[in-house]
């Protein structure tokens, strides 16, 4: 009801602003009085000329100017004489005001009744706070799935559906839990074992833990060509300091890979990282690999440091890559540069200041690597 009163007051104010100027009485022009004044001015000019106060030239110029004004005033007086009577003008103005009043008052109401929905009741607060499934957000939909799984925890298909969603949302601990449920209820498979291992690695901030490595080994036992498990087993070798073993696993993957495998760029980049060779479209050749293996340790370390610095330069240009920051901090720790690792943590937090979830991942890595203090 209060809303309708506000609308009514707003409409009245708009009507008043438009109608008030039309309803006022028109002013009477004073052209007649102006004619008398100009005639007096002409006589005054003649008296001044006769008394010698002004010269003939000045008097002629003054007469011309006053005469021009006199003619203009006389024309205005004639126009007023032929204009409609004041009563008729006022009637037309009142009629126009009345027409505007009707249009402003009736037209909006008619349009609302035609296009609006006045019979639909207002939406209660509970309905606004609990939208229908059609308008629900991703978080609300996930909440509904979680509620159903809480009521039916033995729904293996439900756990397998929600686990990848948890991964995409960065809820890695929940993803680990979901994949464990899926394995227990649906049975073991190479794909499920590999997915559980990946979730464990993500939850450990990129570290291939013993449990994750065991899951990947189970996956390749069931399917020797499972690309995800093979890649992470190579990563485990790299993190253990066995770069040659990691390179061997990744070269074997490239050798067996289909030309359109989506993971090819990742494996090539990883291979380049452990060998010190730039990534190539078809991977390093045997001669290149032999040259790297025969390279002195100091030279190999220098190449690795160069790659790390390139990563640092890229992140300082575009700091939105949280995975890149995590790799950079771990790389500095592996190289023994704890000061640079701590500085990278500070830079990462500054670049990711608007992403608290990603900053939490940085903090978790700092704790895991013992960089606190």
pLDDT tens digits for range 27-83: 554 445 666 776 777 778 778 777 777 777 777 777 777 677 767 766 665 555 554
Q: Which residue has the higher pLDDT, 74 or 270?
A: 270
pLDDT for the residue numbered 314? 84
Average pLDDT of every residue of the chain = 76
Q: Answer positive or negative: Cα dihedral of 94, 97, 103, 108.
A: negative
What is the distance between the alpha carbons of residues 45 and 110, in angstroms, rounded to a whole number? 68
pLDDT for the residue numbered 53? 74
pLDDT for the residue numbered 100? 66
pLDDT for the residue numbered 181? 92
Provide the 3-class DSSP secondary structure of residue 45.
Answer: helix
- Is residue 284 over pLDDT 70? no
What is the distance between the alpha carbons of residues 347 and 315, in angstroms, rounded to a whole number? 9
Question: Residue 135 falls within a domain, yes or no?
Answer: no
What is the distance between the alpha carbons of residues 71 and 38, in angstroms, rounded to a whole number? 9
Lowest-confidence segment of 37-41, 230-234, 242-246 by average pLDDT: 37-41
C-beta pairs of 363-372 under 8 Å, 24+ apart in sequence: 364/205, 365/205, 365/206, 365/326, 365/329, 365/330, 366/329, 368/204, 368/205, 368/207, 369/329, 369/330, 369/333, 369/341, 371/329, 371/333, 371/338, 371/341, 371/342, 371/345
In this structure, are residues 73 and 31 in contact, taking their beta carbons and an 8 Å threshold? yes
In this structure, are residues 207 and 172 in contact, taking their beta carbons and an 8 Å threshold? no
Asked which of 91, 115, 139 is the last residue of a domain, the reply is 115
pLDDT for the residue numbered 137? 67
Total of domains in the chain = 2
Question: Residue 226 falls within a domain, yes or no?
Answer: no
In this structure, are residues 52 and 69 in contact, taking their beta carbons and an 8 Å threshold? no
Q: In this prediction, what percent of the chain has a pLDDT beyond 90?
A: 22
pLDDT for the residue numbered 289? 46
Asked which of 90, 115, 140 is the last residue of a domain, the reply is 115
pLDDT for the residue numbered 178? 92
- Is residue 197 over pLDDT 90? yes
Nearest to 29 by CA among 64, 72, 62: 72
Question: Residue 123 falls within a domain, yes or no?
Answer: no
What is the distance between the alpha carbons of residues 281 and 283, in angstroms, rounded to a whole number? 6
pLDDT tens digits for range 246-258: 999 999 998 888 8
- Cα-Cα-Cα-Cα torsion 106, 107, 109, 112, nearest 10 degrees, comes to 170
Q: Which residue has the higher pLDDT, 34 or 116?
A: 34
pLDDT category of residue 130 using cuts at 50, 70 and 90: very low
pLDDT for the residue numbered 128? 46
Tokens of 21: 């100027």
What is the phi-psi region of residue 276: left when phi exceeds 0, alpha when psi lies from -120 to 50, beta otherwise? left
pLDDT for the residue numbered 266? 87
Nearest to 266 by CA among 309, 289, 232, 292: 232
Segment 119-135 shows an average pLDDT of 47
- Side-chain-side CA neighbours of 213 within 13 Å: the count stands at 12
Tokens of 30: 């004073």
Segment 202-213 shows an average pLDDT of 91
Question: Residue 361 falls within a domain, yes or no?
Answer: yes
Q: Which residue has the higher pLDDT, 111 or 246?
A: 246
Residue 259: partners with Cβ closer than 8 Å, 6 or more residues away: none
> pTM (2 decimals)?
0.43
Give the residue numbers spanning the domain of 328.
296-373
- Is residue 126 over pLDDT 50? no
pLDDT for the residue numbered 127? 42
Question: Residue 212 falls within a domain, yes or no?
Answer: no
What is the phi-psi region of residue 55: left when phi exceeds 0, alpha when psi lies from -120 to 50, beta otherwise? beta
pLDDT tens digits for range 148-174: 888 988 988 889 888 988 888 888 999
15 exposed, middle or buried (CB, 10 Å; 0-12, 13-18, 19+)?
Answer: middle
pLDDT for the residue numbered 365? 87
Asked which of 85, 115, 145 is the last residue of a domain, the reply is 115
pLDDT for the residue numbered 220? 95
Question: Residue 208 falls within a domain, yes or no?
Answer: no
Tokens of 96: 């126009």
Q: Kindly report the CA angle at 41 between 36 and 44, in degrees rounded to 5?
A: 130
pLDDT for the residue numbered 226? 94
Question: Residue 249 falls within a domain, yes or no?
Answer: no
- Counting every residue written for the chain, the total comes to 373
pLDDT tens digits for range 310-345: 888 888 887 888 888 888 888 888 788 888 888 999
Q: How many CB atoms lie within 10 A of CB 308?
A: 20
Question: Residue 309 falls within a domain, yes or no?
Answer: yes
What is the distance between the alpha carbons of residues 12 and 24, in angstroms, rounded to a whole number? 18
Q: Which residue has the higher pLDDT, 157 or 278?
A: 157
Nearest to 284 by CA among 302, 270, 300, 298: 270
Q: Answer positive or negative: Cα dihedral of 239, 243, 246, 247.
A: positive
């Amino acid at each position: 009801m209060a809303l309708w009163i506000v609308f009514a007051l707003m409409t009245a104010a708009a009507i008043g602003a438009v109608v008030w100027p039309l309803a006022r009485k028109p002013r009477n022009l004073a052209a007649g009085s102006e004619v008398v004044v100009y005639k007096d001015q002409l006589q005054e000019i003649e008296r001044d000329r006769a008394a010698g106060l002004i010269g003939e030239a000045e008097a002629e110029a003054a007469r011309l100017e006053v005469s021009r004004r006199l003619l203009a005033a006389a024309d205005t007086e004639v126009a007023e004489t032929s204009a409609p009577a004041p009563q008729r003008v006022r009637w037309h103005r009142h009629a126009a005001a009345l027409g505007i009043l009707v249009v402003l008052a009736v037209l909006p109401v008619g349009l609302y009744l035609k296009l609006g929905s006045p019979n639909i009741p207002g939406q209660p607060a509970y309905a606004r706070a609990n939208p229908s499934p059609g308008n629900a957000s991703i978080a609300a939909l996930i909440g509904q799935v979680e509620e159903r799984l809480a009521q039916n925890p033995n729904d293996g298909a439900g756990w397998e559906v929600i686990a990848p969603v948890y991964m995409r949302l960065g809820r890695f601990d929940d993803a680990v839990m979901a994949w464990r449920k899926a394995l227990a209820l649906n049975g073991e498979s190479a794909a499920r074992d590999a997915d559980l291992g990946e979730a464990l690695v993500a939850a450990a901030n990129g570290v291939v833990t013993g449990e994750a490595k065991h899951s990947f080994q189970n996956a390749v036992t069931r399917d020797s060509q499972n690309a995800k498990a093979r890649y992470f087993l190579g990563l485990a070798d790299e993190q253990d300091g066995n770069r040659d073993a990691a390179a061997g696993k990744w070269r074997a993957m490239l050798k067996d890979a289909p030309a359109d495998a989506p993971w090819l760029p990742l494996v090539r980049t990883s291979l380049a990282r452990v060998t010190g060779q730039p990534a190539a479209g078809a991977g390093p050749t045997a001669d290149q690999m032999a040259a790297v293996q025969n390279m002195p340790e100091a030279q190999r370390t220098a190449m690795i440091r160069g790659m790390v610095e390139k990563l640092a330069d890229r992140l300082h240009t575009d700091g939105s890559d949280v995975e890149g920051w995590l790799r950079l901090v771990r790389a500095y720790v592996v190289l023994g540069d704890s000061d640079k690792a701590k500085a990278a943590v500070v830079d990462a937090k500054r670049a990711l200041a608007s992403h608290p979830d990603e900053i939490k991942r940085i903090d978790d890595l700092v704790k895991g690597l013992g960089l606190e203090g």
